[in-house]
């Protein structure tokens, strides 16, 4: 009998507001975002893997330690970061990616992260689902 992998990954994008402490902090502590905390808690409740999509690092797990940075994903970086994300998704053995995001019409910068993740899922042959939530 073949085991079917139905592993869900809940992903949301990073945010500009971060703790500026020097040194390394767990990503869940570095980012100051109600949206990130909401998706993190939802992932725990639904027994899904959780990642934050960063324009600098690609996918970051909640407890991965990162330094302070300030970087918006550039339009010219979408292709390259999507390749990195595709590899990270394969390593995570993801089968279903659910991307939680605020209204793209209200914040057009989200589109870059949406496009990069969707492209990565296409490359890795992973199901991509987009869910708009009302939390910035």
Q: How far apart are alpha carbons 10 and 16 in whole angstroms?
A: 20
Domain count for the chain: 1
For residue 81, being part of any structural domain is answered with yes
For residue 3, being part of any structural domain is answered with no
For residue 19, being part of any structural domain is answered with yes
Total Cβ atoms within 10 A of residue 107: 12
Model confidence over 24-48: pLDDT tens digits? 999 999 999 999 999 999 999 999 9
Cβ–Cβ under 8 Å, residues 79 and 71: no
For residue 30, being part of any structural domain is answered with yes
For residue 96, being part of any structural domain is answered with yes
Model confidence over 86-96: pLDDT tens digits? 999 999 999 99
For residue 109, being part of any structural domain is answered with yes
Give per-10-residue mean pLDDT for the chain (136 aa): 68 97 97 98 97 97 97 97 98 97 96 98 98 96
Which residue range is the domain that position 67 belongs to?
8-132
For residue 1, being part of any structural domain is answered with no
Q: What is the pTM of this model?
A: 0.94
Place of tokens 């995570």: 92
Helices (H) and strands (E) in the chain, counts: 4, 7
- The angle at the Cα of 57, spanning 11 to 99, to the nearest 5 degrees, equals 15
């Amino acid at each position: 009998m073949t085991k079917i992998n139905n592993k869900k990954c809940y992903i949301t994008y990073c945010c500009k507001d971060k703790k500026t402490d020097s040194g390394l902090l767990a990503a869940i502590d570095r980012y100051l975002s109600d949206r990130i905390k909401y998706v993190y808690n939802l992932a725990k409740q639904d027994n899904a893997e959780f990642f934050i999509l960063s324009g600098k690092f690609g996918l970051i797990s909640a407890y991965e330690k990162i330094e302070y940075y300030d970087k918006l994903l550039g339009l010219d970086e979408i292709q390259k970061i999507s390749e990195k994300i595709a590899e990270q998704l394969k390593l995570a053995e993801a089968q279903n990616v659910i991307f939680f995001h605020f209204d793209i019409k209200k914040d057009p910068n989200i589109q870059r992260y949406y496009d990069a993740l969707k492209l990565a899922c296409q490359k890795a042959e992973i199901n991509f689902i987009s869910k708009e939530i009302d939390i910035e």
